[in-house]
Amino acid sequence: MNLQAEELNQIISKNSPIVYSLLSERGKEIYFPKKGILGQSAEAKGKRIDATIGTAVEDDKSPMRLRCIERNIAIPPASAFPYAPSYGRPDIRAKWKEMIYLKNPGLKSVELSLPVVTNALTHGLSVAGYLFLDEGDQLIMPDLNWDNYCLIFTNAYDTEITTFNTFLNNEFDVGSMKSALRRNGIGKKVILLNFPNNPTGYTPSVKTAREIVNALKESAEAGNRLVVLCDDAYFGLVFEEGIETQSIFTYLADLHENLLAVKMDGPTKEDYVWGFRVGFITYGIKGGNPALFGALADKTAGAVRGNISNACNLSQSLLLKAWESNDYQGEKEQKYQILKKRYEKVKEVLADGKYDKCFKAFPFNSGYFMCVQLTDGLPGEEIRQILLKDFETGVICFGNILRVAFSAVAERDIHELFENICKACEGFGRN
């Protein structure tokens, strides 16, 4: 094992033996190479002659660039063309941490790690898998989940995904989650929670969120060592009163010494910048301190460095510029209201129950999506094909469930969307 990895392991073990025990074998062996090329380049920064880093510069020491690219970028070349650090730009890391506290006031004075920048949230999930999951480990999650989790965790890390029932009586099935946590006795448990949920567009009520937190605390108190992965891709898009508006991470980051909360989030959906590919990983644990969080950040940045080197500097710079703009909050609220009206139109269209003979909606109250379950054994894939062929309508199907992205449908077309699904169901067997 590299000496730098051993040093980080010693820091983590000294400050939290539990966190050290939660690391995968890869996680224990990874480190950020502060003493190699990057360290030597840092020492040379600002020197009159710097022949260390693998970039090219103009004779005036500004980044070498093509004018045909530069003229389309309205920010300084130094904020666009050079590499960003593997940790992410220091200014965007500090800004995102500030924003986490602003958006989750329940965190108050809870100490968190400084976020590490990833190549958006999918990469963040993969980095978490690298750090905390070994071959054969089980990853617990609801049975209604994003299909990319399988690629991220099972195909890449040979992790076994084990699921529990998502809903009971139109709310999150906390009892089923408890049962999943009890499987295989006391030990290391890794669980993934995604609110608002993809595919269902569900976020728990304030009451149910507390029940989820209490169940996780009970599991930690029973002696389990928990990693809770909080996939907050659709954070902030809650459309009903009484629904939890803070990240579940808020209540886990200082919950118990046996529970490491890992928040994966970013502006992709929150700020409608899907192609920018910027995300963040942030850590919280009861008793966490700067030494522990710094070592975790070093390992996280090492995993980033060894995989993609660093996330896009230009995207980070554009986001910072937007977040510092006086127009940011107002423009974000405008887009939220558009999505909320689409959500309310879906609720209105489904309210009278006229479509119950064809499908019924799963609980939904947030995010980009909602799901319907087809009735009477109607096959989802065949209904999907009918919708494409006869109704110029596209939805996603898995089994007999259809996922509808109301985020991508104009309010004026939402009634027709559900009419088309119903007509496709009624016409099944006659085509």
Residues 150 and 209 in one domain: yes
Domain containing 219 — which CATH number? 3.40.640.10
Q: What is the pLDDT along the chain (431 residues), one digit of tens a residue?
A: 899 999 999 999 999 999 999 999 999 999 999 877 877 888 888 888 888 888 898 899 999 899 999 999 999 999 999 999 999 999 999 999 999 999 999 999 899 999 999 999 999 999 999 999 999 999 999 999 999 999 999 999 999 999 999 999 999 999 999 999 999 999 999 999 999 999 999 999 999 999 999 999 999 999 999 999 999 999 999 999 999 999 999 999 999 999 999 999 999 999 999 999 999 999 999 999 999 999 999 999 999 999 999 999 999 999 999 999 999 999 999 999 999 999 999 999 999 889 999 999 999 999 999 999 999 889 999 999 999 999 999 999 999 999 999 999 999 999 999 999 999 999 886 55
Residues 190 and 255 in one domain: yes
> Alpha-carbon distance 198 to 332, whole Å?
21
> Alpha-carbon distance 343 to 366, whole Å?
8
242: left (phi over 0), alpha (psi -120 to 50) or beta: left
> Alpha-carbon distance 137 to 133, whole Å?
6
> Alpha-carbon distance 121 to 278, whole Å?
7
Strands 138-142 and 160-164: parallel
Q: Is 80 within a domain? A: no
Residues 400 and 261 in one domain: no
Residues 183 and 255 in one domain: yes
Q: Is 64 within a domain? A: no
> Alpha-carbon distance 45 to 35, whole Å?
15
- Residue 329 CB neighbours (<10 A): 10
Domain count, the chain: 2
Q: Is 38 within a domain? A: no
Last residue of a domain, one of 294, 323, 352: 323
Domain containing 385 — which CATH number? 3.90.1150.10
> Alpha-carbon distance 270 to 89, whole Å?
20
Residue with tokens 């006086």: 326
Residues 335 and 284 in one domain: no
Residues 295 and 256 in one domain: yes
The 8-class DSSP code of residue 406 comes to G
User: Does an H or E element contain 337, and which?
Assistant: helix 328-350
Question: Smallest Cα–Cα separation from 171: which of 194, 204, 142?
Answer: 204
Q: Is 186 within a domain? A: yes
Q: What is the pLDDT of residue 347?
A: 97
Cα dihedral across residues 201, 209, 375, 358: positive or negative: negative
Q: Is 72 within a domain? A: no
Residues 247 and 365 in one domain: no
Residues 130 and 248 in one domain: yes
Are 193 and 230 in contact, with CB atoms under 8 Å apart? yes
Domain that holds residue 21: 3-32+86-323
Residues 173 and 297 in one domain: yes
Last residue of a domain, one of 323, 347, 367: 323
Residues 187 and 254 in one domain: yes
Q: Is 73 within a domain? A: no
Burial of 139 (0-12, 13-18, 19+ CB in 10 A): buried
Beta bridge partner(s), residue 361: 372
> Alpha-carbon distance 9 to 364, whole Å?
42
Q: What is the pLDDT of residue 163?
A: 98
- Extract the tokens encoding 327: 């127009």
Q: Is 41 within a domain? A: no
What 3-state DSSP class applies to 210?
A: helix
> Alpha-carbon distance 199 to 370, whole Å?
7
> Alpha-carbon distance 431 to 424, whole Å?
10
> Alpha-carbon distance 254 to 113, whole Å?
12
Q: E strands within 80-214?
A: 116-118, 138-142, 160-164, 167-168, 171-172, 188-194
Q: Is 9 within a domain? A: yes
Are 383 and 417 in contact, with CB atoms under 8 Å apart? no
Are 163 and 142 in contact, with CB atoms under 8 Å apart? yes
Burial of 169 (0-12, 13-18, 19+ CB in 10 A): exposed
**pTM summary value:** 0.94
Residues 313 and 335 in one domain: no
How far is residue 412 from each of residues 346, 355, 423, measured CA to CA in Å?
A: 11, 19, 18
Last residue of a domain, one of 323, 342, 364: 323
Residues 371 and 313 in one domain: no
Q: What is the pLDDT of residue 49?
A: 87
